[in-house]
């Protein structure tokens, strides 16, 4: 995971360390060891590396100025542990990006009135249906009852796919005919859940390009009619900046509350999570780390940043 970005961050740390060591010998106490001009070149390289690693431009700018601020003019501390200080500066700057809202999913589900209506949105093939199955499994594991709503009435085969997951997990799917109004499916699933005292409805919607006006209107209708407690945007880490643009668009049209980022296991770049968290200011709930039902980790900014700064392969 994230091999490229991790290597670039390590190179940056080494370059700065070297500069400090070279200059440190010739400098009197109290004098600035690193000036802006010492940092320009390495920071430019770091900037390029971040951009190449799918970190969005606005985020890169914020990160670079954060790191610069941390590093310029630190004189005394340098003698202690240069590498540690550089890493610390990058770590702080990265963590700052995630300073949006937080959301504890378990607690959210525990404390909401039942049934809780959770609608999943995103483009095709990113892992929505798989993530729904993973979330269902997680909820079942913590003692909740779950109903699935097959509100992807657009793609042939969508209902069969979700039915297979439901049968593996031993839960019910509410479905209508192909081409039916997806808002009605979610509405019915909520009705069923109320009548049968189920805790959570997980609604799978048709994958849609954020540019498809019709499908986006349908999504709006689902939200207007069924008033979800939570709208979760799903996208894949490997999509990079496309995912960021899509997250913004879905947020604009229906208002997303949180994201799930899938396929982190096959992402070498590592920047998408940083970009999505920053550009939507919404929490990332989970990371998808494989195709199995158990392959989903709660998102933790510190964990991600530590992976990016770790020396070892993860």
Ligand X SMILES: Nc1nc2c(ncn2[C@@H]2O[C@H](COP(=O)(O)OP(=O)(O)O)[C@@H](O)[C@H]2O)c(=O)[nH]1
Cα–Cα distance, 244 to 262 (Å, whole number): 13
129 binds Mg ion (CB under 5 A): yes
Q: Is 126 in the site for ligand X (CB under 6 A)?
A: yes
Alpha-carbon distance of 115 to 279, in angstroms, equals 30
Q: Both tokens of residue 305?
A: 């940043």
Q: State the binding string over 266-285 for ligand X (x if CB under 6 A, else -).
A: x-------------------
**Would you call the peptide bond into 115 cis, given omega within 30 degrees of 0 as the criterion?**
yes
Phi, psi of 219 (to 5 degrees): -60, -45
Determine which residue in the list 96, 291, 300, 310 makes contact with ligand X, applying CB under 6 A.
291
163's contact among ligand X, Mg ion, none, with CB below 5 to 8 A by partner kind, is none
CB of 128 to Mg ion, least distance (A): 5
**128 binds ligand X, rule: CB under 6 A:** yes
By CB under 6 A, name the one of 93, 250, 288, 301 that touches ligand X. Answer: 288
* Residue number with CB closer to ligand X (63 or 136): 136
In angstroms and rounded to an integer, the radius of gyration of the C-alpha atoms of the chain is 23
Query: Which of these ranges, 46-54, 125-133, 240-248, 269-277, lies near ligand X under the rule CB under 6 A?
Result: 125-133
Of residues 15 through 34, those in contact with ligand X by CB under 6 A are: none
- Nearest alpha carbon to residue 117 among 198, 210, 234, 215: 198
* Smallest separation (angstroms) from ligand X to the CB of 293: 11
Least gap, CB of 132 to ligand X (angstroms): 8
Query: φ and ψ at 96, to 5 degrees?
Result: -55, -35
Cβ proximity to Mg ion: between 78 and 293 the closer is 293
Residue 82 interacting entry, from Mg ion, ligand X, none, C-beta within 5 to 8 Å by type: none
Continuous H helices in 25-143: 36-52, 57-71, 82-97, 105-111, 128-141
Among 137, 263, 278, 282, binds ligand X (CB under 6 A): 263
Helices 57-71, 36-52: axis angle to 10 degrees equals: 150
CB atoms within 10 A of CB 12: 20
Residue 48 CB contacts under 8 Å (≥ 6 apart), including other chains: none
Nearer to ligand X (CB atom), residue 272 or residue 289: 289
Residues that bind ligand X (CB under 6 A): 122, 124-130, 207, 262-263, 265-266, 288-291, 295
Residues that bind Mg ion (CB under 5 A): 128-129
């Amino acid at each position: 995971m994230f091999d490229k970005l991790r290597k670039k961050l390590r190179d940056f740390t080494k370059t700065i360390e070297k500069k400090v060591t070279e200059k440190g010998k010739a400098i009197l106490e109290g004098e600035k060891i690193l000036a802006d001009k010492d940092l320009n070149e390495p920071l430019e390289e770091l900037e390029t590396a971040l951009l190449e690693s799918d970190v969005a431009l606005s985020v890169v700018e914020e990160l670079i100025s954060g790191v610069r601020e941390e590093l310029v003019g630190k004189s005394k501390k340098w003698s202690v542990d240069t590498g540690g200080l550089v890493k610390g500066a990058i770590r702080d700057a990265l963590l700052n990006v995630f300073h949006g809202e937080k959301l504890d999913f378990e607690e959210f589900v525990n404390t909401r009135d039942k049934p809780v209506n959770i609608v999943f949105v995103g483009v095709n093939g990113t892992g929505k249906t798989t993530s729904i199955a993973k979330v269902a499994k997680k909820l079942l594991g913590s003692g909740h009852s779950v109903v699935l709503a097959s509100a992807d009435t657009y793609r042939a085969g969508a209902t069969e796919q979700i039915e297979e997951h439901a049968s593996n997990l031993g839960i019910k799917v509410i479905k209508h005919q192909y081409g039916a109004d997806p808002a009605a499916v979610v509405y019915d699933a909520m009705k069923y859940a109320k009548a049968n005292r189920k805790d959570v409805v997980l609604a799978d919607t048709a994958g849609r390009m954020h540019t498809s006006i019709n499908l986006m209107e349908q999504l709006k209708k689902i939200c207007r009619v069924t008033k979800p407690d939570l709208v979760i945007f799903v996208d894949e880490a490997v999509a990079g900046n496309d995912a960021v643009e899509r997250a913004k668009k879905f947020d604009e049209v229906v208002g997303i509350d949180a994201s799930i980022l899938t396929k982190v296991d096959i992402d070498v770049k590592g920047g998408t999570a940083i970009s999505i968290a920053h550009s939507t200011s919404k929490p990332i709930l989970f990371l998808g780390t494989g195709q199995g039902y158990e392959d989903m980790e709660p998102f933790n900014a510190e964990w991600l940043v530590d992976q990016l700064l770790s020396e070892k392969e993860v």
